[in-house]
Structure 1
Amino acid sequence: MNTFGRNFRVTTFGESHGAAIGVVIDGCPPGFAISENEIQYYLDKRKPGQSDFVTPRKEADAVQILSGVFQGYTLGTPICLLIQNTSMKSADYDELQEIFRPGHADRGYFEKYGIRDHRGGGRSSGRETAARVAAGAIARRYLEKEGIIISGSLTSVHGEEVPERMEQVIRDARDQGESVGGVVSLVVSGCPPGLGDPVFGKLDALIAYAMMGIGGVKAVEIGSGVMAASMTGSEHNDQITSEGYLSNNAGGILGGISSGQDILVRLSIKPTPSIRTLQQTVDTNGMERKISVKGRHDPCIAVRIVPVAEAMMALVLMDALLEQRKIIPDCRQEP
């Protein structure tokens, strides 16, 4: 499945070491102002090579709008965004043609399709997420005009929550040929009540689905999350007064429908699987092998997942907003 959404439909394409990656968006309302510069702003937040905390692969991630926009406004027709790949070092992956990397999708892709692109992980690479961020940029700009603001942050790394200590943990992992995981938090403010369907299209279920679709995400918490299991009903219930809710353990979603409170989401991100540490694996013939993964990799992928998670949240909310307008057409009037 390469397409996400019911109303704001996003289809990404391309591989890590292919000529380009990109996305086709169908269902974007017409007459909405958008520019390459506005999309580029968000792409620049996730692009590689910006610090010693991320992969040194340097990609400009320069976006081109190929269709669906005329004189700065959306036409209501499919929007195609293209991002050229310009900094591939495919030779770094030559030895992986017949070897599966532990913690990666290599073996799964091979078993599913009988063939795989071993260069940088091909379609399973985090490189694909640039296309999601590009699509999410359009959704975010639309939502912002509606007063819906999405913000994300890296809140812990390898159990550390102090920024300076988090940075040192990442440096230590990089220098040792290791990697570490982290926690990314998202807050959505200004979301109107009523978004999401009460049974199979619950807003929290759609958010969890979207977030778990990001490579490396192993758990999603909404509101009090796993802490809810250790609370009593009176502790967890968000009591209501004439002025609003007294707490937000539900994370802004009740019965699968947005309550109007801030939407609170936390993602647990696994350590980057590409590490120099020697590991046990097998090859395509089932023979046991040893592997030390070379190449350019993030010592902590959680750092660059922040803008990706923000983008996926935007896609979910954009889709839900357009769905709600089928029921209440004047829900948050279009800009």
Structure 2
Amino acid sequence: MAGSSFGTIFRITTFGESHGKAIGVTVDGCPAGLPLSESLIQPYLDRRAPGQSKFSTPRKEGDAVEILSGVFEGKTTGTPIMMMVHNQNQQSKDYSEIASYYRPGHADYCFDQKYGFRDYRGGGRSSGRETIGRVAAGAIADLLLKSMGITVTAYAKSIGPIICETYDFSQIEQNPLRMPDANAFSKAEDYLVECMEKGDSAGGIIECIIRGVPAGIGDPVFEKLDANLAKAIFSIGAVKGFEIGDGFAVANMLGSENNDAFVIDPQNGSVTKSTNHAGGILGGISDGTPIIFRAAVKPTPSISRPQQTVNRDHEEITVSIKGRHDPIIVPRAVPVVEAMTCLTLIDAILLQKALTADL
């Protein structure tokens, strides 16, 4: 299977299936000398782990990461870093029934058409557990970015029709939906309980803010920073939409409204902008202001409500999906969005370093 690698200089390759022996990633291109250990990576994986609340799958997995190569005496050596998480709590029998039909909203039919064969146990490579490798690799990228003064913060901006109206970032890790608005969380919690009682699921929007990226990162044509961020975020299985800055709202704006005026920062005399409709990127290159984007996440396709589909014999049937599934993907996708953002940024920064010694 092609397409399991991401990045140019800081390049990752993920491996493993949802119900296989293990999930993991190989990271190539990480500079030598970065302090690294399992204890530094584990907190990132804990944030995306299952079983955190009633709003995530009850599958119990420790997701304990093991570093197999690329680290010596607590620091990276500059050679490939291989990390692995063993699957401990597979219940493949829950999925034996779906071997004969195509689940609505899943990639089952597409896999059959492409390969003529598929791993039906939890979706195989298209399962959300594939993101373990991304998050482990993203942890390394995040540690590198933090050493440069760059921070990446994502959160649930909305759950279904419930939208955050206030933003207290200290609240993000204080509630299981990762919403920065305690009042919105309370309403979203009630909404999700109602969805679950009906055997249904919900979607939402994840917003991400990147601070500290200097101006000049990215390229102006096919390797635009915003285009590469879009590709990275769209590679997350549940994402169906991406917008940066004011996004689709710019279609209803005038040029005089959408343009960001350049001004001089009175505190340090640097060039900045009075507004940020562009979302921190112009012409595919960072402009030094915060980079802000949003991702639309679809409802979990595996629901217990009866749904229409067809089987491999082309017979129309009605199904009710069994097994352990998240009623909403958004909260556990937040650290995945952060990981893919960090991977995109560190790769772009290392590419820039290859072009200039001034960064």
Q: Which consecutive aligned stretches of 4+ in structure 1 deviate over 2 angstroms post-superposition? A: none
For 1:101 and 1:129, locate their aligned partners in 2 and report how far apart those are by CA, in whole Å: 21
Residue in structure 2 matched with residue 175 of structure 1 by the alignment: 197
For 1:175 and 1:70, locate their aligned partners in 2 and report how far apart those are by CA, in whole Å: 51
Q: Point out the more displaced range, 89-98 or 162-171.
A: 162-171
- Any idea what SS the aligned residue of 2:162 has? coil
Residue in structure 2 matched with residue 3 of structure 1 by the alignment: 5
Residue in structure 2 matched with residue 189 of structure 1 by the alignment: 211
Residue in structure 2 matched with residue 227 of structure 1 by the alignment: 249
The percent of aligned pairs where both chains have the same amino acid is: 52
- Any idea what SS the aligned residue of 1:97 has? helix
For 1:317 and 1:157, locate their aligned partners in 2 and report how far apart those are by CA, in whole Å: 27
Residue in structure 1 matched with residue 344 of structure 2 by the alignment: 316
Residue in structure 2 matched with residue 254 of structure 1 by the alignment: 282
Residue identity in the other structure for 1:9 = R
Residue in structure 2 matched with residue 299 of structure 1 by the alignment: 327
| Superposed displacement of residue 242, structure 1 | 1.8
TM-score (norm 2): 0.91
Correspondence list, 1:118-133, <5 A: 118-133=120-135
| Superposed displacement of residue 170, structure 1 | 1.5
| Superposed displacement of residue 202, structure 1 | 0.1
For 2:39 and 2:193, locate their aligned partners in 1 and report how far apart those are by CA, in whole Å: 32
Residue identity in the other structure for 1:165 = K
CA RMSD of aligned residues (A): 0.7
TM-score (norm 1): 0.98
For 1:197 and 1:93, locate their aligned partners in 2 and report how far apart those are by CA, in whole Å: 45
Residue in structure 2 matched with residue 75 of structure 1 by the alignment: 77
For 1:174 and 1:82, locate their aligned partners in 2 and report how far apart those are by CA, in whole Å: 33
For 1:155 and 1:166, locate their aligned partners in 2 and report how far apart those are by CA, in whole Å: 11
| Superposed displacement of residue 94, structure 1 | 1.0
1:202 matches 2:224 = yes
Residue in structure 2 matched with residue 60 of structure 1 by the alignment: 62
Residue in structure 1 matched with residue 146 of structure 2 by the alignment: 144
- Any idea what SS the aligned residue of 2:122 has? helix
For 1:93 and 1:188, locate their aligned partners in 2 and report how far apart those are by CA, in whole Å: 39
- Any idea what SS the aligned residue of 2:50 has? coil
Residue in structure 2 matched with residue 33 of structure 1 by the alignment: 35
Residue identity in the other structure for 2:187 = R
| Superposed displacement of residue 175, structure 1 | 2.0
- Any idea what SS the aligned residue of 1:299 has? coil
For 2:228 and 2:24, locate their aligned partners in 1 and report how far apart those are by CA, in whole Å: 23
Residue identity in the other structure for 1:307 = P
| Superposed displacement of residue 113, structure 1 | 0.6
Residue in structure 1 matched with residue 172 of structure 2 by the alignment: none
For 2:190 and 2:114, locate their aligned partners in 1 and report how far apart those are by CA, in whole Å: 39
Residue in structure 1 matched with residue 180 of structure 2 by the alignment: none
1:108 matches 2:110 = yes
Correspondence list, 1:283-294, <5 A: 283-294=311-322
| Superposed displacement of residue 327, structure 1 | 1.4
- Any idea what SS the aligned residue of 1:152 has? strand
Unaligned runs of 5+ in 2: 164-183, 266-271
Residue identity in the other structure for 2:33 = G
Residue identity in the other structure for 2:311 = D
